[in-house]
Amino acid sequence: MACPFQMGLQDATSPIMEELLHFHDHTLMIVFLISSLVLYIISTMLTTKLTHTSTMDAQEVETVWTILPAIILILIALPSLRILYMMDEINNPSLTVKTMGHQWYWSYEYTDYEDLNFDSYMIPTQELKPGELRLLEVDNRVVLPMEMTIRMLISSEDVLHSWAVPSLGLKTDAIPGRLNQTTLMAMRPGLYYGQCSEICGSNHSFMPIVLELVPLSHFEEWSASML
């Protein structure tokens, strides 16, 4: 999760988020180089009275500053499209979890099990235990196995919601009457926090998401205890 005064994105837990972080750094470096060049040109024009008439009227210069931005846009677009297709790819999921958004809580159903479903409400501030996070803790965490492809089916029963977990690179809209899907795979165990990312009413800020990623053996023990 995010830390106070953190400047960058959250640490990546999934392969998709690692790709997004690399793309972010790649694009940011291009933006930094362009900004530095523009700042240098502006400062040079303001501090010197010299004008190179041959350069100002040269056809070659106009050709360069037309083609160069096109090449830069291609360098940004190609990795962006690659990640976009990777995020939409579904590869034989080992587990499917259906997520329904409500005003203002989430409900989860493990469709591979006969009767494994529950609602997940935020724990009120006055009921928090020492060490728990305000506005982020829930009474029922979503327990999932790590290092396995998991498909999330996301919808809503009332208004627009958005199911988002930043450290996994996930953000999918929950739309009434429509079933969206996304996949996740965590490379290490831990607790991963998210929140509803679509303004959905007065208690929009009180719809946290908590994923607990555990080894497969622990997940099997948990699922057996819930049935």
Q: Per residue in 120-158, pLDDT tens?
A: 999 999 999 998 899 999 999 999 999 999 999 999 998
- Please indicate, yes or no, whether residues 103 and 153 belong to a single structural domain of this protein: yes
Q: For the chain, percent helix, then strand, then coil, each to nearest 5?
A: 40, 25, 35
Instruction: Answer whether 220's CB lies under 8 Å from 112's CB.
Output: no
d(CA 36, CA 125): 47
**Residue 83 belongs to a domain:** yes
For 143, the 3-state DSSP assignment is strand
Ordered alpha helix ranges (H), 48-90: 53-56, 59-88
pLDDT tens-digit map of 73-127: 999 999 999 999 888 887 788 999 999 999 889 999 999 998 899 999 999 999 9
Residue 63 lies in domain: 15-49+57-88
- Please indicate, yes or no, whether residues 74 and 162 belong to a single structural domain of this protein: no
**194 HSE (CA, 13 A, CB side):** 24
For 32, the 3-state DSSP assignment is helix
Report field, pTM of the whole predicted structure over 0.75: yes
Phi/psi at 143 (5° precision): -90, 125
Q: pLDDT at position 40, please?
A: 93
Q: At 50, is the pLDDT very low, low, confident or very high (cuts 50, 70, 90)?
A: confident
**Residue 4 belongs to a domain:** no
- The answer, yes or no, to whether residue 45 has pLDDT greater than 90, is no
- Please indicate, yes or no, whether residues 106 and 213 belong to a single structural domain of this protein: yes
- Please indicate, yes or no, whether residues 222 and 120 belong to a single structural domain of this protein: yes
Q: pLDDT at position 62, please?
A: 81
**Residue 5 belongs to a domain:** no
pLDDT tens-digit map of 157-212: 989 999 999 999 999 999 999 999 999 999 999 999 999 998 988 888 899 999 99
**Residue 184 belongs to a domain:** yes
Give the domain CATH number at 162: 2.60.40.420
The per-residue DSSP string of 204-227 comes to GGG-EEEEEEE-HHHHHHHHHHH-
- Please indicate, yes or no, whether residues 33 and 102 belong to a single structural domain of this protein: no
- The answer, yes or no, to whether residue 56 has pLDDT greater than 70, is no
- Please indicate, yes or no, whether residues 187 and 143 belong to a single structural domain of this protein: yes
